[in-house]
């Protein structure tokens, strides 16, 4: 059956097709209109589905792609509560960012190409979240990787952009190997890739002892490895900061709100399997924690406005993975939602600041812009308030629930680690805020930027709408001690139809919860105050000690990969004399070709003469050989 999923998925694809095929014919305004409508229309359909259907699971089977005796690959889509949440985020925030891009790209000649790639990205992202099995999801997974590559390298004539695009693509490919191997293992052992079936079959098989827990752990860790690629976690996180070479709307949409969260989505989708393996859960938790801590530390020393936000994204994603490791699927999805809002908002504000300052991204050349960019300042303040987890911002609610989940599942130590990261995130966010809007005097900024570029209206209104959304989105998950009107935790209630919500909160624990909440709040305020103290007046002098060097050098992860993986490998290749093998592989095809040429020539000389008599003779002769074979076989079988 083909229905809603068909419409929702194919409209962005149609937008892509129109813009890419008609890139030379379609005027810019029409290309932009098509690009925006290709996201807005599916969004209205999705909204209608959200409100129109209550208890729903729409499963649509398009066709069987391949079937053999032992397995079946279908192209099928499912729309349930979990994919609905993702769908609304992708299309809602995606739609806003498309509108924002109308302003951002207004002076660019190749806006049509930009919008076609963006629509293609939306298409693949929808395939990813709506796919009913791992194969369809993998198609989307690869597709968003491709679009990410295309969009990071959108200004392909700039070398840095081209290199960053390649880096993102290659790093993601490394993760994809994990995904593929997991798919092979699953197909080989269970003969299906459908989420519904896998989520039933694997727990059953484990319970009945058909498979060991080791296999489940292996599958989970392979899938998580794929997720570390796409969601930029250790060890594959190095591509995300470089990806900031792309246009800012791309960073907001792909590298903050949607694509990088697909790793989280993958794990939530398959939660019954991840639940089975203690080992995999611990790996996820500690990898997430490590990534979050490291990237938060790096973010405190960055001078590029977008790179700070990129490291912050890694850090927040690490947070979500920590929640997943602790079984807090609802908490992770809630944080994903709020993060999509406030991080997109921060990126878009940053983009607005960058545009108005004549494409200046260096924080040291900003400062004192409070009065000159009042709207940006206000909106940035809203975003910063939310991400830092200060009271009643969106991040406050989601981070609080997340921390509570960590405490319940893992106890004090992990909780303390998470609180430390919360401190750092408040610190680097407000550092960013004060560096942009305070720090220098207003006169100084007047001197460096005598004129500002006017901000297009499309960008301004999107910022306002998104800021309002950021303020409100936290209300989706109000904790029960603040729940005066007894609406409940809406997002958890909504997702509970698909995902288990562990550990119901008892009333007697709410005192503990308030205590923990107060502590984390105090820590966040501490981070805020520290940043205010250090950066409000002027740039502090950075001490040149080992610790600072480590942070500024981004923990030297890139250099470690370069020096200890890439270089030894190429040395190994050289040392082993594989250069000779290379010669061999270069020349082997030549020899092969020569060999077959020889065969061909010898046949050609004897047989392919062009004379019909020869041909007839060859036919007769072949026929005789056929007779001979038959007679030999005949006689031998007759003799005994």
Partner 1 sequence: MDIDFQLAIILPELVIAGGVIFLSVAGLFLRPNLRMWVIPLLSIAFMLVAGAVLIIDSTSGYGFHKLIVKRRELDFFKLIILLGGVLTTLISTRYLQRRSINYFEFYVMLLAAMLGAMIAVSTTHFLTLLVGIEILAITSYVMCAIRRYDRSSVEAAFKYFLLGSFSTAFILFGIGFMYGGTGQLHFGVDIFPNGQLNNSENLFLVIGGIMFLGGLAFKLAAAPFHFWAADVYQGAPTAVMAFLISVPKIVFLVIFYNFLDSHIKFAPWGVFVLILANISMLVGNAMAFLQKDIKRLIAFSSVAHSGYLLLIVIFHRSEGMAVLGYYLLAYLLASFGMLAIIIKISADKENILLGELKGLFASSPRSVFLLSFFILSLAGIPLTAGFFGKLFLFYEIAPIGGFWIGGAMIINSIISVGYYILLIGHLFKRGVFEHSVVADSKNLEMAYWLAFLISVGILLWPQVVNTFMGFA
Q: How far apart are CA 319 and CA 313, in angstroms?
A: 10
Q: With respect to partner 1, which residue has the nearer C-beta, 553 or 607?
A: 607
Shortest reach from residue 63's CB to partner 1, in Å: 6
- Beta carbons within 10 angstroms of residue 188's beta carbon: 10
Cβ-count burial 371-389 (b if 16+ within 10 Å, e if not): ebbeebbebbbbbbbbbbb
- Cα–Cα distance, 348 to 603 (Å, whole number): 70
Closest to 249 in 3D by CA, of 122, 388, 393, 351: 351
Provide the binding-site residues for partner 1, judged by CB under 8 A: 63-68, 589, 592-593, 596-597, 599-601, 603-604, 607-608, 610, 612, 614-616, 618-619, 622-623, 626-627, 629-630, 633-634, 637-638
CB of 62 to partner 1, least distance (A): 9
CB of 596 to partner 1, least distance (A): 4
CA distances from 282 to 225, 332, 346, 414 (A): 13, 16, 31, 11
Q: How far is the CB of 188 from partner 1 (least distance, A)?
A: 16
Q: Which of 327, 279, 77, 70 lies closest to 186, judged by CA?
A: 70
Output the smallest distance, CB 386 to partner 1, in A.
Answer: 44
Separation between Cα atoms, residue 437 and residue 440, nearest integer Å: 8
262-269 and 213-230 helices, crossing angle to 10°: 160
Length of the chain: 640
Burial of residue 598 (CB within 10 Å: 0-12, 13-18, 19+) is exposed
Helix/strand/coil (H, E, C) string of 286-322?
HHHHHHHHHHHHHHCCCCEHHHHHHHHHHHHHHHHHH
Cβ distance 177 to 211 under 8 Å?
no
Residue 73: Cβ within 10 Å count: 18
The 3 state secondary structure assigned to 3-48 is CHHHHHHHHHHHHHHHHHHCCCCCCHHHHHHHHHHHHHHHHHHHHH
CB of 192 to partner 1, least distance (A): 17
Please, which residue, 124 or 415, has the CB nearer to partner 1? 124
CB 625 to partner 1: min, Å: 8
Q: How far is the CB of 191 from partner 1 (least distance, A)?
A: 16
Residue 107 vs 601, nearer CB to partner 1 = 601
In whole angstroms, the minimum distance from the beta carbon of 592 to partner 1 comes to: 7
Rounded to a whole number of angstroms, the minimum distance from the CB of residue 633 to partner 1 is: 5
By beta-carbon proximity to partner 1, the closer residue of 23 and 512 is 23
Residue with smaller CB distance to partner 1, 540 or 592: 592
Q: Find the shortest distance in angstroms from Cβ 139 to partner 1.
A: 11
Tell me how far the alpha carbon of residue 221 is from its chain's centroid. 17
In the complex with partner 1, the residue whose CB is nearer, 529 or 630, is 630
C-beta closer to partner 1: residue 60 or 401: 60
DSSP string, 318-344: HHHHHHHHTT-HHHHHHHHHHHHHHHH
Cβ closest to partner 1, residue 547 vs residue 621: 621
Report the alpha-carbon distance of residue 43 to residue 27 in Å, rounded: 25
């Amino acid at each position: 059956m083909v229905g809603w999923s068909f419409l929702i998925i194919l409209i962005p694809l149609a937008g892509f097709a129109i813009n890419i095929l008609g890139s030379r014919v379609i005027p810019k305004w029409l290309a932009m209109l098509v690009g925006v409508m290709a996201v807005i229309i599916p969004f209205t359909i999705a909204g209608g589905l959200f409100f129109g259907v209550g208890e729903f699971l729409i499963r649509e089977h398009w066709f069987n792609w391949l079937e053999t005796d032992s397995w079946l690959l279908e192209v099928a889509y499912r729309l349930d509560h979990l994919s609905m949440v993702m769908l609304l985020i992708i299309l809602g925030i995606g739609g806003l960012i498309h509108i924002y891009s109308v302003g951002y790209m207004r002076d660019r000649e190749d806006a049509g190409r930009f919008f076609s790639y963006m629509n293609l990205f939306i298409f693949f992202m929808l395939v990813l979240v709506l796919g009913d099995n791992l194969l369809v999801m993998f198609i989307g997974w690869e597709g968003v990787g491709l679009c990410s590559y295309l969009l990071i390298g959108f200004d392909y004539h700039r070398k840095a952009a081209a290199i960053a695009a390649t880096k993102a693509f290659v790093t993601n490919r490394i993760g994809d190997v994990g995904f593929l191997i997991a798919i092979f293992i699953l197909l080989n052992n269970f003969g299906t890739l459908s989420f519904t079936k896998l989520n039933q079959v694997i727990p059953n098989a484990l319970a009945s002892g058909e498979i060991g827990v080791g296999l489940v752990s292996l599958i989970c860790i392979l899938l998580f490895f794929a997720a570390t690629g796409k969601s930029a976690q250790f060890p594959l996180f190095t591509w995300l900061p470089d990806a900031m070479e792309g246009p800012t709307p791309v960073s907001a949409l792909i590298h903050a709100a949607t694509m990088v969260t697909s790793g989280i989505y993958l794990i939530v989708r398959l939660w019954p399997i991840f639940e089975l393996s203690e080992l995999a859960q611990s790996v996820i938790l500690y990898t997430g924690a490590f990534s979050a801590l490291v990237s938060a530390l790096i973010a405190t020393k960055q001078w590029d406005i977008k790179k700070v936000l990129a490291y912050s994204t890694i850090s927040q994603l690490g947070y979500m993975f920590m929640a997943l490791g602790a079984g807090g699927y609802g908490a992770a999805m809630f944080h994903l939602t709020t993060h999509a809002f406030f991080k997109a908002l921060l990126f878009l504000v940053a983009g607005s600041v960058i545009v108005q300052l004549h494409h200046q991204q260096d924080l040291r050349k900003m400062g004192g812009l409070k009065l000159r960019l009042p709207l940006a300042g206000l909106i940035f303040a809203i975003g910063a308030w939310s991400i830092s987890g200060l009271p009643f911002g969106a991040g406050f609610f989601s981070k609080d629930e997340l921390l509570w989940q960590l405490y319940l599942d893992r106890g004090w130590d992990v909780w303390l680690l998470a609180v430390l990261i919360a401190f750092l995130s408040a610190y680097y966010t407000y550092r960013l805020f004060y560096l942009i809007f305070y720090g220098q005097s207003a006169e100084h900024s007047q001197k460096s930027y005598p004129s500002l570029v006017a901000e297009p209206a499309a960008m301004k209104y999107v910022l306002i709408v998104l800021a309002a959304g950021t303020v409100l989105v936290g209300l989706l998950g109000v904790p029960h001690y603040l729940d005066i009107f007894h609406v409940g935790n809406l997002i958890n209630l909504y997702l509970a139809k698909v995902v288990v919500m562990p550990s119901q909160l008892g009333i007697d624990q709410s005192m503990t919860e308030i205590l923990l909440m107060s502590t984390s709040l105090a820590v966040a305020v501490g981070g805020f105050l520290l940043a205010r103290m250090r950066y409000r007046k002027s740039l502090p002098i950075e001490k040149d000690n080992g610790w600072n060097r480590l942070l500024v050098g981004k923990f030297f992860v890139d250099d470690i990969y370069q020096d200890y993986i890439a270089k030894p490998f190429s040395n190994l290749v050289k040392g082993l004399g594989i250069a000779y093998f290379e010669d061999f592989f270069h020349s082997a095809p030549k020899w092969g070709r020569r060999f077959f040429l020889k065969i061909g020539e010898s046949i050609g000389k004897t047989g392919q003469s062009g004379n019909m008599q020869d041909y007839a003779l060859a036919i007769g002769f072949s026929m005789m050989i056929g007779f001979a074979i038959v007679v030999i076989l005949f006689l031998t079988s007759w003799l005994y």
